[in-house]
């Protein structure tokens, strides 16, 4: 999810892990690029965007490799 507070925003996983910094609204593309660099996996599921940190995405990645 993207949390917004006091004009700042950052990507946060369901587990509560968040990006290392916050971003202005006009830095959306930078925020997404940095999140991916930090290991976040960003996917669209049933029309909704999901933001998953590296630790939480590991089991899903391993399972996809087995299939």
- What pLDDT score was predicted for residue 66? 47
Is 57 within 8 Å of 11 (Cβ atoms)? no
Task: Supply the pTM of this predicted model.
Answer: 0.79
- Average pLDDT per block of 10 residues along the chain, 67 residues long: 94 94 96 96 94 84 51
Per-residue pLDDT, 57: 86
Q: Is 11 left (phi over 0), alpha (psi -120 to 50) or beta?
A: beta
């Amino acid at each position: 999810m993207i949390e917004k507070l006091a004009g700042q925003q950052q990507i946060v996983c369901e587990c509560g892990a968040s990006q290392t910094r916050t971003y202005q609204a006009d830095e959306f593309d930078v925020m997404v690029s940095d999140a991916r660099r930090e290991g976040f996996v960003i996917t669209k599921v049933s029309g909704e965007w999901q933001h998953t940190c590296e630790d939480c995405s590991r089991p899903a990645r391993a399972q996809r490799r087995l299939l």
